[in-house]
Structure 1
Amino acid sequence: MKTPDVLCIGAMLWDVIGRAPRRMAPGADVPGRIRHLPGGVALNVAVALARWGLQPAVLSAVGRDPEGEALIAEAARRGVITDWLTRDSGHPTDCYMGIEDSEGLIAAIADAHSLEQAGAAILTPLDALPGWTGPVVLDGNLTEELLAFIARDPRLAQADLRIVPASPGKAERLEPLIAARRGCFYLNRLEAEILAGRACRDAIQAAEAVVARGAARVLVTDGPHPAADAMAGAPTLTHQPPAVTVARVTGAGDCFLAAHLAAERQHQPRDAALRQAVEASAAHVSGKDVP
């Protein structure tokens, strides 16, 4: 097996994304485009990290069905190490379905049952990496029980945890990691408000509110508004995204995380890392792949 630079633990699945070029009302039936793409937070981040020149491995559950074989082949083609996957012939490969319009995401359904049923089995490859001190990306598609287990797992006691909730509906799953006072959290404003337990006027207030709850470091995005990087005992930083025309929204947060982590792996200062993340996310939303 290849030795990775980064471990990405979480969802690896197929994205089915339907996008309409205009605003949609509830119940609308409009023409548009439907794409079938490799996805899942863990895989999205891994693919983006590979574009930044890193060697990421995904720890996830993928079925032994044709969809799983095709997904693994495509991930490997994009530079992701797939030797660490858990394969189960009894469960199908997971899938995500999203609907977007010109304003952004309308609705989505994530079917990650195979990942949830695999549970701690996806962590078995960690036995070959005792004392891992590198970055570990965790996504909120993991169950709250598994996230709590990871927070206590001695194999990851010295790891640099990078945590993303996957969606506002799964933000509360991150509570065990906040309680453990571990990791760097990547949230959008709504996710941060859920974890903070209150409404916030902007990304700055939202990031600081989650830090006040016990998180060591929190980065919050807020669409076209300034993003923020808050951490205990240090000043909060902000950066304004460039104005872009929205071509897609799914995966923007994953692109943000990957660009930020890549910058910090290059020992860039906090402000430069935040700027790179914001600009990479904006480029993704405009339809470009960065770098």
Structure 2
Amino acid sequence: MSGPFDILCVGSVLWDVIGRSPSVMRQGSDVPGRITRLPGGVALNIAMTLARFDLKPALLSVVGRDAEGEELVAACARMGLVTDHLYRSEDLPTDRYMAVEGANGLIAAVADAFSLEAAGARILRPLTEGPLGSVTTPYAGIIALDGNLTEGLLEEIAHHPAFASADLRIAPASPGKAERLLPFLRAARGTLYVNLEEASLLCQTRFDSAPEAAARLIERGAARVLVTNGGETCCDATPDGLIADSPPPVLVTRVTGAGDTFMAAHIAAERGGADRQTALGRALQTAAIYVSGEIGP
């Protein structure tokens, strides 16, 4: 799909292969369940949720010209996502993510984002060399950015003049990649969306609550941060103050993609004019419905 769009989603666009079982699992478990393959990746998960709020996102990422890539681009287009600006590689395969979830949550996951890392700055050319923006005419809209990009490329984005006017919304992709967000913390750029574990890794300190973690991230230079903590209190903090709310209690049936859903719902609410407290509440409600299995794939 082509044409005008509302928000840019930059980062991983891939296939999610998820094995889910209703059983409690541990290392070495071999249990019955269901295995699905769905469009995924942080940037794509955010884009798909934004589309459910009647927004039209555009994707910046790399997708191979292999059979899996052709199928993925077609799936994105059917969902109303703008795919014109994807970097389509002849020699890099389409990335994949594989996870196993049990009744006790995520058991293990492997993110194969090799192609995204190998493509590097080539995925950003539409923003740095046109047609979406450049150094002299920087893009001025919302950019949802994920930490699957390399640390070096994220450092470049934090200071690149082509991104100077953008409203950056940034997620680390996983706790293992949380420290890739440090350039935005140091530069006081953008809004960071992290969970309690990721906040702890960014600060090299263990926190017991989201408000505590958010306050510390602001002290360390963050311009704005939203910290989630599963079913516990979550918060939105800026140097001017902190607001908090708690998600409604639900039966959790899945966890992969919950943080991306929260972030997208929050962006959509604020873009629609909601104040900070309202936007936080709507995002928590949407994420709770998602993990309960009532919406989404």
TM-score with structure 2 setting the length: 0.96
Establish whether residue 90 from structure 1 lines up as the match of residue 96 from structure 2. Answer: no
The one-letter code matched in structure 2 to 1:2 is G
The one-letter code matched in structure 2 to 1:122 is I
> Which residue of structure 2 lines up, in the alignment, with residue 164 of structure 1?
171
Paired residue secondary structure (1:287)? coil
> Which residue of structure 2 lines up, in the alignment, with residue 285 of structure 1?
291
Measure, in 2, the Cα distance between the counterparts of 1:57 and 1:157: 19
Q: Are the equivalent residues in 2 in contact too, given 1:219–1:229 (CA < 8 A)?
A: yes
> Which residue of structure 1 lines up, in the alignment, with residue 273 of structure 2?
267
Paired residue secondary structure (1:230)? strand
Deviations along 1:37-90, one digit per CA (max 9) or x if unpaired, are 000000000010011111111100000000000101111111211111001110
The one-letter code matched in structure 2 to 1:125 is P
Q: CA deviation at 1:3?
A: 2.2
Counterparts of 1:51-200 in structure 2, within 5 Å, are: 51-126=52-127, 127-130=130-133, 131-200=138-207
Q: Are the equivalent residues in 1 in contact too, given 2:26–2:107 (CA < 8 A)?
A: no
The one-letter code matched in structure 1 to 2:204 is G
Q: CA deviation at 1:129?
A: 2.0
The one-letter code matched in structure 1 to 2:271 is R
Measure, in 1, the Cα distance between the counterparts of 2:61 and 2:251: 33
The one-letter code matched in structure 2 to 1:201 is D
Paired residue secondary structure (2:183)? helix
Measure, in 2, the Cα distance between the counterparts of 1:37 and 1:129: 29
Q: CA deviation at 1:206?
A: 0.9
Q: Are the equivalent residues in 1 in contact too, given 2:235–2:244 (CA < 8 A)?
A: yes
Paired residue secondary structure (2:30)? coil
Q: CA deviation at 1:197?
A: 1.5
> Which residue of structure 2 lines up, in the alignment, with residue 246 of structure 1?
252
Q: CA deviation at 1:254?
A: 0.5
> Which residue of structure 1 lines up, in the alignment, with residue 226 of structure 2?
219
Paired residue secondary structure (1:225)? coil
Deviations along 1:128-156, one digit per CA (max 9) or x if unpaired, are 12321111011010000010111122111
Which of 227, 236, 239 in structure 2 is aligned with 1:229? 236
The one-letter code matched in structure 2 to 1:128 is P
> Which residue of structure 2 lines up, in the alignment, with residue 14 of structure 1?
15
The one-letter code matched in structure 2 to 1:284 is Y
Measure, in 2, the Cα distance between the counterparts of 1:177 and 1:156: 12
Measure, in 2, the Cα distance between the counterparts of 1:196 and 1:243: 29
Identity percentage of aligned residues: 55
Q: Are the equivalent residues in 2 in contact too, given 1:103–1:246 (CA < 8 A)?
A: no
Measure, in 2, the Cα distance between the counterparts of 1:256 and 1:248: 14
Q: Are the equivalent residues in 1 in contact too, given 2:168–2:191 (CA < 8 A)?
A: yes
Deviations along 1:5-48, one digit per CA (max 9) or x if unpaired, are 11111000000000110110211010001010000000000010
The one-letter code matched in structure 1 to 2:52 is R
Q: CA deviation at 1:184?
A: 0.4
Counterparts of 1:41-56 in structure 2, within 5 Å, are: 41-56=42-57
Establish whether residue 29 from structure 1 lines up as the match of residue 30 from structure 2. Answer: yes
What is the count of residue pairs matched by the alignment? 289
Q: CA deviation at 1:267?
A: 1.3
Measure, in 1, the Cα distance between the counterparts of 2:98 and 2:44: 16
Paired residue secondary structure (2:111)? strand
Paired residue secondary structure (1:53)? coil
Deviations along 1:89-113, one digit per CA (max 9) or x if unpaired, are 1011000000101121111000000
Paired residue secondary structure (1:128)? coil
Q: Are the equivalent residues in 2 in contact too, given 1:105–1:249 (CA < 8 A)?
A: yes
Gaps of 5+ in 2: none
Deviates more, 1:123-132 or 1:4-13: 123-132
The one-letter code matched in structure 2 to 1:287 is G
Paired residue secondary structure (2:226)? strand
> Which residue of structure 2 lines up, in the alignment, with residue 208 of structure 1?
215
Q: Please list every run of at least 4 consecutive aligned residues from structure 1 whose deviation after the TM superposition is greater than 2 angstroms.
A: none
